[in-house]
Amino acid sequence: MTKQDDTSLWVTMRNIDRVCDEYLTGRINRRELLAAGTRLGVGASVLASSAVMLATARNALAAGSVADEIIAKINLPYIATHDAPPPSGRDMVPAGKYKKPGPWTIGFSNDYSSNSWRTNMLWCLKYYAMQHKDKIKDFYYTDSNQSISQQISDIQSLQARGVDVLLLEPGGGTALNAVITRVSAEGVPVVPFDGVVKGAPYGLWVGMNLRYIGTASAAFLINKLNNKGNILICRGMAGNLIDTLWWGDAEKLLKASNLKIVGQVYTNWDFATAKSNVTQFLASHPGEIHGIWNENGAAAMGVIEAFEEANRPVPPTMGDQNNGFLKKWQSLAAKTGYEAHGYIYPTWLSSDALADAFKILGGESVYHDDFQPQLVITNQNLEKYVRPNLPDSYFSADYLPDDWVKKMYSEKINFNIHAS
């Protein structure tokens, strides 16, 4: 099989998973599922087996499980137990609202790019943009390096350049609301992705339902530990809205269970910080830890190494598609039967945001809050996502072709993209 064939296969597999997820969550019906399969070149039997695999992967929230009974008892809301709100209750961007002739000037204000997920995210965006450069007159990119005042200045600069749409990785909670409001008032759609904007008008948002991810992670621990044992909580970044969303409903579920929370540390979603803080915790807490609630793969790697270096059993935990975490998980599973819970937190949210931006500039109607389908990694499908020949810092699963993966690790990114 050639490298290009291999890449095409990975892309097809991802698209099959996404279509089956749409079917399992009720966003499309069986007829639409079969039609999508025809477009992908796969038959009903392949779709059926993929749907069964995904349904099995969702067993953290399976009906009748211990966690499901607790969820029903405390009446967690729909949004905490599904990867998106019900279709009937979701607002749409009206067709034609932002329509204008192309090619378009794209602005992107990024609050920082200093971790490997962000690096992967930027390369996914550039890859997609280069496939559609006929739609791009100019592409302007800024990075505020976690300075809110700089991001405000960057957005003002992009506005002055006459961008037709503003992609945004927002930092600082509500600190950007005033400048977002000013940009929106000029009829320029602001398209935040990944991060969340609260209290300011935006054109549309693209991202994941963090409330669901957090709840599913808590449910995994409850079911895996049969609702008994000691757990450590490894949160992300103190005061960050993403962390707050991730933890809120998970905390309610865990506190309603019989699991005992024996400590909490922050990881900043970072390997070194997670390892250091968990190491310090273990040094002062010699008692057994049976499970770890955690928010991402890089931190999971740090957690696992902290336990290993302390000569303590590695408890079940969870993380995203960080390749280092997946490789470690696979190694432990082969040796001891270790089980973890994984989920895809797409680095291609940036690409999905640009795709939606093209749609609304072209006059189409899309979801105002465009939640992406949540794909789940288990011991049963782990092999599909591990990339053993790529660095631990790789996050992009099957999205990037091999030649673009090489570019990511050998070139400095730029966004000098223009219509041909």
DSSP of 61-112: G-TTSHHHHHHHHHT--HHHHSSS--GGG--BPPTTTT---SSEEEEEEES-
Domain assignment of residue 361, yes or no: yes
The domain in which residue 49 lies consists of 1-61
CA distance 280 to 119: 29
| Closest-CA residue to 127 (of 320, 350, 397) | 350
Same domain, 242 and 274: yes
Same domain, 229 and 319: yes
Among candidate residues 368, 372, 370, the one with its CA nearest the CA of residue 203: 368
User: Do both 241 and 292 map to the same domain?
Assistant: yes
Pair (193, 143) in one structural domain: yes
Does residue 379 lie in a domain region?
A: no
List per-residue pLDDT tens for the chain, 420 residues long.
Answer: 333 344 444 455 567 766 776 665 556 665 676 677 777 776 655 555 555 455 544 546 666 789 999 999 999 999 998 888 887 778 999 999 999 999 999 999 999 998 889 999 999 999 999 999 999 999 999 999 999 999 999 999 999 999 999 999 998 778 999 999 999 999 999 999 999 898 999 999 999 999 999 999 999 999 999 999 999 999 999 988 889 999 999 999 999 999 999 999 999 998 999 999 999 999 999 999 999 999 999 999 999 999 999 999 999 999 999 999 999 999 999 999 999 999 999 999 999 999 999 999 999 999 999 998 888 899 988 998 999 999 999 998 878 999 999 999 999 999 999 886
Dist. CA 309–CA 357, nearest whole Å: 47
What b/e string do you get for 331-363 counting C-beta neighbours within 10 Å, with b at 16 or more? ebeeeeebebbbbbbbbbbbbbbbebbbbbbbe
Same domain, 204 and 218: no
Asked if residue 151 and residue 239 are part of one domain, the reply reads no
Helices 30-40/44-57 angle, 10° precision:
110
Q: Which two tokens stand for residue 143?
A: 């990075």
Residue whose entry in the numeric block shows the structure tokens 């409850």: 222
In a domain, 181, yes or no: yes
Cβ atoms of residues 204 and 93 within 8 Å: yes
Please check whether residue 264 lies inside any domain of the structure. yes
> What integer pLDDT is reported at residue 202 of this predicted model?
98
* Whole-number pLDDT of residue 2: 38
223 shares a domain with 204: no
Q: Does 298 map to a domain?
A: yes
* CB contact at 8 A, 175 and 197: no
Return d(Cα 220, Cα 59) in angstroms, integer. Answer: 8
Specify whether 253 is located in the same domain as 331: yes
Q: How many domains does the chain have?
A: 3
Give the torsion through C-alpha atoms of 258, 262, 266, 269, to 10 deg: -50
Q: Is residue 380 part of a domain?
A: no
Question: Is 104:165 a contact under the CB 8 Å cutoff?
Answer: yes
d(CA 93, CA 187): 13
Residue 315: which of 223, 232, 218, 252 has the closest Cα? 232
Among 43, 61, 79, give the residue marking a domain's end: 61
* Domain end among 326, 343, 360: 343
Whether residues 278 and 315 fall in one domain: yes
Q: In this structure, are 361 and 265 located in the same domain?
A: no
Of the candidates 57, 42, 83, the residue with the CA atom closest to the CA atom of residue 381 = 57
Residues 113 and 231 both lie in one domain: no
CATH number at residue 198: 3.40.50.2300
Residues 214 and 232 in one domain: yes
Nearest-angstrom CA–CA distance, 336 and 142: 46
Would you say residue 332 lies in a domain? yes
Question: Is 394 contained in some domain?
Answer: no
